[in-house]
Structures are given as structure tokens and as C-alpha cells.
Amino acid sequence: MGQDARGFAYIERADGSVVISHHGRAAGTLRGGRAARFLAEVGEEPQLVMARWTGNYRRGNERTARQHPRNQG
């Protein structure tokens, strides 16, 4: 099972699929080749890798981007 220091964790199932959860809720399920690529990559920076694979890596930037001068209308 993956680390959950920043909310992400993963479970590798017997059928080869991987379930990624965020704060206890399922954030994504990977199967086949995608699951194998994820497992090969997750050893580096587990929290960052899981955030990237689930699409949650941009959270927190939206407020900053909204205040940028180019986004002011």
C-alpha cells in the first residue's frame, strides 16, 4: 500500500489493477499497461506521482492564476 502523508494512497489488487485513493475516497483505477507504468514510476515521489496520475496536481494554483494580471478582465 502506498504512503498517505499528503492524502494519497494506492492499493495493488490481485488482478493487477491499482486503485488510487485521496483522503479515503477512490480517485482512480488503473488496469493493464497503465497500472504497470504507474507501479514502475511510483517509487520515486509517491505523492507527486499519484497526484499527477489522478489529475489533482494543479490544486492550489487556481486562486493564484485567477489573480494574475493577464486573467483580470
Q: Which residue has the higher pLDDT, 5 or 39?
A: 39
**Cell numbers that stand for 64 in this block:** 493564484
What pLDDT is attached to residue 56? Answer: 67
Digit-coded pLDDT (tens) for 47-63:
989 988 988 666 555 56
Digit-coded pLDDT (tens) for 6-46:
789 999 999 999 999 999 999 999 999 999 999 999 987 89
Q: How crowded is the C-beta side of 25, counted as CA atoms within 13 Å? A: 3
Q: pTM value?
A: 0.68
- Give all strands of the β-sheet with 18-22 in edge-to-edge order: 8-12, 18-22, 25-30
